[in-house]
Amino acid sequence: MKIYGISGLGADKRVFNFLKLNHTLIPIEWIKPYKREPLQDYSARLSKIIDPKSDFVLIGVSFGGLVAVEISKILNPCLTILISSVETKIELRPIYRGFGKLNIIKKIPAKLFDPPRYIASSLFGTANKELLNDILEDTDLQFAKWAVNELVNWDNQNQVENLIRIHGTKDKLIPWRGLGKVELIEDGEHFMIVDRAEEISKFINEKIKDRSHQLRLNSNS
């Protein structure tokens, strides 16, 4: 069973390095969005990297979770796992959706999407500040601006099949709003895929094992 991982906004495959999974994880690298490309079209292009002929699991972290949801509508993975993310637009903070309605993000210079490190550290809530800072230093600010604009304008209201959510109780960027079924990580924050990797890995391995068993039963029936 292959696992494809989609990292968060501006982040890269380094966020997956701390996971200990029982199956091969293939990080999907971000591609450059076209000018004014909507998230659905971008996700469709990104999905070309995935081989849909064999069973696979999709993991999406933060903004990558939105992309994972959009790809799941196209390719129907065996399992979609969202970490520190959302499945539908109503789970986003109302202020985010308000920014979308006001069309504010497009008016903000890209350089302002590089937050001061002490603010980023507080928002992400991580003990691994060095990794977070390295990721922020390597972030493409034009991509970050596009991604934030797509996040606040995301219009998905549809749930996808075979989806599992993992969320931290102290996530400041995308707080859990008590909607839908979710595996809560007590005191977990937005960067918990790094800081709480052992717990998250154990949960993912168990869910993939259960799903694989179910698929075998279905194929033999």
Q: How many other C-beta atoms lie within 10 A of the C-beta of residue 119? A: 9
Confidence of residue 1 (pLDDT cuts 50, 70, 90): confident
CATH pick for 2-220 out of 3.40.50.1820, 1.10.3470.10, 3.40.50.1970, 3.40.50.720:
3.40.50.1820
The mean pLDDT of 13-36, rounded to a whole number, is 94
pTM greater than the 0.85 cutoff: yes
pLDDT tens for 93-123 read: 999 989 898 888 989 999 999 999 999 999 9
Which H helix or E strand runs over 18?
A: none
pLDDT of 21 over the 90 cut: yes
pLDDT tens for 165-175 read: 999 999 999 99
Cα 56 from Cα 1, distance rounded (Å): 5
Instruction: From 82, 100, 199, select the one nearest 153 (Cα to Cα).
Output: 100
Residue 29 DSSP one-character state: P
The mean pLDDT of 181-193, rounded to a whole number, is 94
